[in-house]
Structure 1
Amino acid sequence: MQTPHPSRLAPDHPRRAEILAAHAAADATGEAGYLDPGTGLFVLTAGFLARRGTCCTRGCRHCPYVGGA
């Protein structure tokens, strides 16, 4: 699993482990996303975003296109 770029999910985020676990569970079952454990907002998975084929430039937490730029 690709970890989110630090600009999208800080390494010291207090709920990082919960967020990564929720992401992994959703990605493993092919779900488009998961509910953020802190906010309840729907967050798209890296797998879903990669299948879209391009970055939408909206700052998605698990954007697979961020990192090299």
Structure 2
Amino acid sequence: MKKFVPIEDGDYYLTPEGYRCFTEQYHLKRGYCCESGCKHCPYGFDKKTNTIKKN
């Protein structure tokens, strides 16, 4: 089971359409890539190739 990460100020913002968009801060706090192609993914996931960019 994945751990629960509480949402704090700066973890997301609302898009003009009303969706929650998680920030890089939240993704790093969560600690893993969900491979959903998130806009602010700090892990470098590419949804087109299904790969995570290695540093």
Q: TM-score, normalised by structure 2?
A: 0.59
Aligned match of 2:38: 60
Report the residue type matching 2:37 in the other structure: G
Provide the aligned C-alpha RMSD in A. 2.2
Q: Deviations over 1:23-64 (max 9, x none)?
A: xxxxxx842200012x22100010110111110111111000
Percent identity of equivalent pairs: 38
Larger-Rg structure: 2
Tell me which of the two structures has the higher relative contact order, counting C-alpha pairs closer than 8 angstroms and 6 or more residues apart.
1
2:37 and 2:22 mapped to 1: Cα distance? Answer: 11
Higher helix share: 1
Q: TM-score, normalised by structure 1?
A: 0.48
Higher strand share: 2
Structure 2 unaligned blocks of 5 or more = 1-7, 46-51
